[in-house]
Amino acid sequence: MFSEKNKVRKNGSIAYSFHRCDCDKCPFKKQCLGDNSDGYKQILNNVNYDIFEDQRNFETTEHFKQIHKIRWKIEQRNSHLKNQYGLNITYGTGLWSMKAQSFLTAITANIVKITKLVATV
């Protein structure tokens, strides 16, 4: 049924090629093939299609919608640390250096936040 050309391409998709005569019994022949006069049909499918489909299904659940509602708070805080406290540039090399910089940046931001709270009291 499928041609021997079915292989993974460089862009991460699989091309399924087959002859039009295989589509004769299919009820969706008119919708799928249309009026093309080519001798074969080609369908492109991503290698990670199952993973993408699972994610799409997860995004329709109520649990995802609740998580998504509070995500903006986290992103807002990360943006503040990046723009106001210089977390957008790593001053050292390696993962350990980035972890240390993130930790110290978070401490600095929390100290500033505490001092502003104390000053208002």
Question: How confident is the model over 59-68, as pLDDT tens digits?
Answer: 999 999 999 9
52 and 82 fall within a common domain: no
In a domain, 66, yes or no: no
Q: What is the DSSP letter of 22?
A: G
CA 72 to mean position of chain CA atoms: 17
Above 90 in pLDDT, residue 109? yes
Output the pLDDT for position 56. 95
95 and 47 fall within a common domain: no
Domain closes at, from 14, 33, 60: 60
In a domain, 53, yes or no: yes
Number of domains in the chain: 2
In a domain, 12, yes or no: yes
49 and 18 fall within a common domain: yes
Determine the structural domain holding residue 110 and report its residue range: 71-120
8 and 53 fall within a common domain: yes
In a domain, 100, yes or no: yes
6 and 45 fall within a common domain: yes
The three-state (H, E, C) secondary structure of 47-66, written as one string: CCHHHHHHHHHHHCCHHHHH
Cα distance between residue 38 and residue 34, in whole Å: 11
Above 60 in pLDDT, residue 37? no
